[in-house]
Structure formats: structure tokens, C-alpha cells
């Protein structure tokens, strides 16, 4: 799971060695809430162990989010484009989650370095991302943090959606979220403005991500949440994907524009319809 977090300096953790029934070998990366270790079990099989950072073990909010992410991931198994889950629990005072190990990088890293894996497979990656989100919604959850950093792509272009810490169960009524711990660039207008939300915020985040991958620009740039919301609302300087990249198929542009409509009712209500339109536009 290389690239999921920023590279570690190597001194944030207790070091390699036994950890429950696993052996930690290499600290791959570390980030806001967790560290990722390359680990093996007693049979020598490789896994990725995600462990809550030591300094957050007494932080109840961080613990709840971490455990929530583990539980949601466990319930959302059964799709090739969602990271595989083995187990989660607590060992030596540390909350952890054991997942499949994928040698690759996240989309933000691939995008930044213009990696051939992304450039040569962008159409299939876009479809796979949509299918992963479709599975999460059909499993009864909103991801709530869909962005390039949370999409891992292997060396052979296999997609894995990760990080379910902020995910919420889909309910009959829109959710009212008091805090917005996600990334403003990928948040829908209703979320940025503190309005009730539903799974269509994931559709918006998908559209922003696809737009960015295909144009090398963000559709609604801004330094602050207020700036981004203003750009989403007035759209004075908004450029369509094909204005920035004429090679984008018309059908793909139409799908992306529908995803990033400011009004939720104008977006795709179901990811299955989006997946259908993407496949038709990309002749898959």
C-alpha cells in the first residue's frame, strides 16, 4: 500500500518485530492518523498492517474513527476494487487493521509524477473507481472521503479503494454532519455549507477526481473552504473538461459534468447508472 500516506522518517513507531501473531518488517509510510507496516504471518504471507499512531491512542475521536473504518471495511468486502480485509483489533494497546498488501501508489502520487501506469490505464481506472464506490453504496455506506489519495493503483493498474474512517451508514433521511474532517477540494457544496448530505456527495467527489485526472486541473480551485464553495456556486471561471483536454470523449465529459452539478438532485442518484454511462462513453 505504498503511497497511501507521506513517507515516514522512521522514528514514529516502536520499530519492527513481533506484533500479535504478525511480524512487522518495514514501516512503509505514516500519516495523519495511522502508520502502515509491511508484515508477515506465521506462514510468511505478506500483509499491510495499519496501526493507530501512538500519540493518538488516548484521543477518543481518533480511536472511534479508526475503529469505524475497520468495521466498515469488514462489511464492504467482496469487490476486487476495495482493499482486502483480514482482521482488526487491539494488541499491546494499539488498535490495528490487517489488510491485503498492494505494491503500488495512490492516484495523487501517480498523477504528480505523470506515471505511465495512470496515463496508459486512465479509462479503466476511472471505471474501476466508480464500481468501487457503487459497491460501497450497495453495501449501505457513504465513503465520505473519496479522493485521489484514497485510491491505490498497483503496478498492473489494479484499483483498490481505501480509508473508510469517515464513512457513514446510508439512512432514509439525509445526514447532518457537525464536523467536516474531509478534504474541502472534493466536498460537495451541500457538505461545505453544512447542509444535510447523502451518498451523492460521493458522486460529486468522484466527478472532481475524474476531472482532475483528465485535465491536470481542479474544477473548483481555492485556498480555503469558502473559496472552494464560492467557485462551486458561481462557476464564473469554470472550464469544462473538453475545454482543457479536447481528447476527452463527449460522453465522458457529460458524465463528469453530471457528477459535479451543484444541486444534488441533478447528479447521478445511483452509481450503477454512472458506471453504465462511463462504459458506454469509453467503449468498455
194 to 151, 218, 225, 238, 260: CA distances (angstroms) = 26, 22, 11, 23, 18
Would you call 154 helix, strand, or coil by DSSP?
strand
Cell of residue 282, nine digits: 469509453
Give the residue from 257, 278, 280, 258 showing the smallest Cα distance to 269. 258
Give the residue from 62, 63, 154 showing the smallest Cα distance to 101. 154
145 is catalytic: yes
Q: What DSSP state is assigned to residue 267? A: S
Residue carrying the nine cell digits 472550464: 239
Contact yes or no for 213/118 (Cβ under 8 A): yes
Give the residue from 105, 79, 120, 74 showing the smallest Cα distance to 271. 79
* Dihedral sign (CA 157, 160, 163, 164): positive
Contact yes or no for 143/135 (Cβ under 8 A): no
Catalytic residue among 145, 163, 202, 277: 145
Q: How far is CA 122 from the centre of its chain?
A: 16
* Dihedral sign (CA 108, 112, 113, 114): positive
**Residues with active-site annotation:** 145
Amino acid at each position: 500500500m505504498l503511497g497511501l500516506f507521506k513517507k515516514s522518517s522512521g522514528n514514529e513507531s516502536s520499530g519492527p518485530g513481533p506484533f500479535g501473531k504478525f511480524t512487522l518488517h518495514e514501516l512503509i509510510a505514516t500519516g495523519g492518523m495511522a502508520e502502515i507496516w509491511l508484515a508477515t504471518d506465521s506462514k510468511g504471507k505478506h500483509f499491510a498492517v495499519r496501526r493507530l499512531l501512538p500519540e493518538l491512542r488516548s484521543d477518543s475521536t481518533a480511536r472511534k474513527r479508526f475503529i469505524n473504518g475497520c468495521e466498515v471495511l469488514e462489511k464492504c468486502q467482496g469487490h476486487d476494487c476495495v482493499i482486502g480485509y483480514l482482521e482488526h483489533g487491539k494488541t499491546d494497546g494499539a488498535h490495528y487493521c490487517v489488510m491485503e498488501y498492494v505494491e503500488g501508489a495512490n492516484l495523487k502520487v501517480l498523477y504528480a509524477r505523470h506515471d505511465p501506469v495512470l496515463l496508459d490505464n486512465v479509462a479503466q481506472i476511472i471505471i474501476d473507481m466508480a464500481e468501487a464506490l457503487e459497491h460501497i453504496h450497495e453495501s449501505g455506506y457513504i465513503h465520505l472521503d473519496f479522493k485521489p489519495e484514497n485510491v491505490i493503483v498497483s503496478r498492473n493498474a489494479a484499483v483498490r479503494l481505501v480509508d473508510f474512517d469517515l464513512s457513514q451508514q446510508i439512512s432514509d433521511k439525509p445526514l447532518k454532519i457537525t464536523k467536516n474532517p474531509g478534504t474541502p477540494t472534493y466536498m460537495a457544496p451541500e457538505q461545505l455549507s453544512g447542509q444535510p448530505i447523502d451518498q451523492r456527495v460521493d458522486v460529486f467527489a468522484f466527478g472532481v477526481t475524474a476531472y482532475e485526472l483528465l485535465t491536470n486541473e481542479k474544477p473548483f480551485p481555492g485556498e480555503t473552504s469558502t473559496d472552494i464553495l464560492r467557485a462551486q456556486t458561481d462557476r464564473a471561471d469554470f472550464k469544462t473538461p473538453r475545454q482543457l483536454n479536447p481528447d476527452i470523449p463527449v460522453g465522458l465529459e457529460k458524465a463528469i459534468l453530471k457528477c459535479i452539478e451543484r444541486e444534488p438532485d441533478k447528479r447521478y442518484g445511483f452509481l450503477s447508472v454512472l458506471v453504465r454511462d462511463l462504459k458506454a462513453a469509453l467503449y468498455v
